[in-house]
Amino acid sequence: MANSQKNNVIKLGAFVLAGFALLIITLFLIGKNQYLFGSHFTLKAHFRNVSGLKTGNNVRYSGIEVGTVKNIDIINDTTVEVSMVINRKMKSVIRNNALTSLGSDGLMGNKVINIVPQKGGAAFAKDGDILPSFKSQDMDDIISGLSTTNENIRQITEGLKVTVARINGSTGLWKLLSDSGLAKNFRKTARNLENATTNAEMMTIDLRDVIADVKAGKGPAGAILRDTSMALSLKSSITQLEQVASQASALSADLENITQKLDQEINDGQGSVHLLLKDTALTGNISRTMLNVEKGTASFNENMEAMKHNFLFSGYFKKQEKEKAKQQKLQEKK
C-alpha cells in the first residue's frame, strides 16, 4: 500500500514537472515570435556577414515586426543563408524585389533583419523565395569609424597643446599683440584698403560707362570704332604718314651722303665747292664780275631814263604806260 502511494506521488511530480517544462518552452517560443499558433511562410536572404545575428531574432518590414529568424546556415566561405519565418498576412504585402539588410535593435540591442520595400510592380514573394540583400552600416563599422575619429581628435588635441605651449612661451608674440601702435597701423591699413576698394569700384563704374559709350558710338573713340569712313581715313592718313616718314628718311640719308661728299671734296681740295671756298683769286674775280654787273645795270637804267625824256622815244613810252594803265583797270573791274 505504501509502495503504491509512493509511485502515485512520483508520477504526479513527474507530470507536474513535464507540464511546467512544456509551459516554459511554450512561453519561450512565443516570446521569440516563432508563430507556433499562427500560419506563416518562409523567406530567405543571403549575406556575407551576419555578426551577432541569432536564431529567434526579430524580422521587421518597414520598421514593423513581422517574423523571426528561423535558421542560419553557411552556404560557402562568402555566403550565409538566413531563413525567416514571416506572418502569412504579409504574403500579400512583401514583394520579391524587397531588399534585406542586417541592423540593430536600438544602439546596442540584438541584431535584426530589416526588409525594405522597393518601387515597382514586382510579384509578391512566395514561400521559399530568396530576397536580395545589401550591406548596411552596422554598429561595428560605426564604432570603428568613431575609433578612427577619436584617434584623429587625440592627435589634433596634442598638436593644439604643443601650439598653445609655444604661444604661451613666445615673448615676441605677446609684445606684438600688446603693441597699440601696431593695432593703429592695422586699422589704418584696413581703412586704406577700404578706400582703395571704393576707388576701384568707382573706376570700374566709369570704365563700364566708357565702354558703353564706345559701343553706342559716342565720343571720339566710339566714332572712330563705329564710323567706317573715319576708320578708312585714319588708316589712309597713317599710310601717308608712313610714306612721308620713309621719304624723309631717304632724304635724310641723301643729305648725309651729299654732306659727306662736300666735306671730303673740301678737305681733299677737289671739286667746284673747293674752288669757290678755297681759291681766293676766283673769289675775287667773282666779286669783281658781280660789281661790274651792278655798274652796268645802273648805267642801263640811266640810259633808259634818258630815252624816256627824248622826244624821239617819248611817244612810245607814253603809249606803253597807257596800255599798262588800261590793263590794270580791266583787272580791277574783274
- pLDDT category at 87 given cuts 50, 70, 90 is very high
Q: Rounded mean pLDDT of the chain?
A: 76
Most confident of 44-58, 128-142, 269-283, 293-307: 44-58
21 and 48 share one domain: no
Q: What is the count of structural domains for the chain? A: 3
**One domain, residues 10 and 77:** no
- Cell numbers 604806260: residue: 321
Residue 67: count of CB within 10 angstroms of its CB:
25
Structural domain contains residue 207: no
Report the SS3 class of residue 160.
helix
Least confident interval from 158-167, 240-249, 273-282, 307-316: 273-282
Domain that holds residue 7: 1-31
Residue 186, in any domain of the structure = no
Phi/psi region, residue 262 (left: phi>0; alpha: psi -120 to 50; beta: rest), is alpha
Residue 166 lies in a domain: no
For residue 76, give the C-alpha cell: 560557402
CA dihedral 155, 156, 159, 161 (to 10 degrees): -110
Distance CA 239, CA 223 (A): 20
Average pLDDT of the residues in 32-57? 80
| 11 and 67 belong to one structural domain | no
- Compute the average pLDDT of residues 191-205: 80
Q: How confident is the model at residue 7 (pLDDT cuts 50, 70, 90)?
A: confident
Whether the predicted pLDDT of 137 surpasses 70: no
Q: What is the mean pLDDT of residues 293-303?
A: 67
| Residue 82 clears pLDDT 70, i.e. is over it | yes
User: What phi and psi values does residue 127 have, to the nearest 5 degrees?
Assistant: -60, 125
Q: Are both 21 and 53 inside the same structural domain? A: no
- 242 is a domain residue: no
pLDDT grade for 296, boundaries at 50, 70 and 90: low
Residue 8 lies in a domain: yes
Residues 109, 78, single domain; the answer is yes
Same domain as 45, residue 125: yes
**Rounded CA gap, 70 and 85, in Å?**
6
Please compute the mean of the pLDDT values over residues 23-48 and round it to a whole number. Answer: 72
Q: Are residues 27 and 43 in the same domain?
A: no
Going by pLDDT thresholds of 50, 70 and 90, the confidence category of residue 273 is low
Is the pLDDT at 153 greater than 80? The verdict is: yes
Helix axes 228-268, 271-278, angle to 10 degrees: 60
- Mean pLDDT in residue range 116-141: 83
Which amino acid is located at 110 in the chain?
Answer: N
* Close Cβ partners of 260 (under 8 Å, ≥ 6 residues apart): none
What Å distances lie between residue 269 and 178, 261, 279, 280, 287, CA to CA? 90, 12, 10, 13, 21
Round to whole Å and give the CA distance between 237 and 217.
21
pLDDT the model gives residue 115? 93
| Residue 282 pLDDT greater than 60, yes or no | no
The answer on pLDDT for 41 being more than 90 is yes
Question: For 82-96, 99-113, 121-135, which range has the lowest pLDDT when averaged over its residues?
Answer: 99-113
Residues 19 and 76 in one domain: no
Asked whether residue 21 is assigned to any structural domain, the reply reads: yes
Same domain, 70 and 27: no
- The answer to whether residues 27 and 42 belong to one domain is no
pLDDT at site 1: 54
Determine, yes or no, domain membership for 296.
yes
Is residue 83 assigned to a domain?
Answer: yes
Which among 98, 25, 96, 92 has a CA at the least distance from the CA of 60? Answer: 98
Is pLDDT above 90 for 71? Answer: yes
pLDDT of 63 strictly over 80: yes
> For 33-37, 87-91, 204-208, which range has the lowest pLDDT when averaged over its residues?
33-37
Domain boundary among 105, 136, 167: 136
Residues 1 and 61 in one domain: no
Nearest of 9, 109, 97 to residue 54 by alpha carbon: 109
The lowest-confidence range among 73-77, 122-126, 153-157, 325-329 is 325-329
pLDDT of residue 45: 94
Q: Quote the pLDDT of residue 175.
A: 67
Asked if residue 113 and residue 52 are part of one domain, the reply reads yes
d(CA 253, CA 259): 10
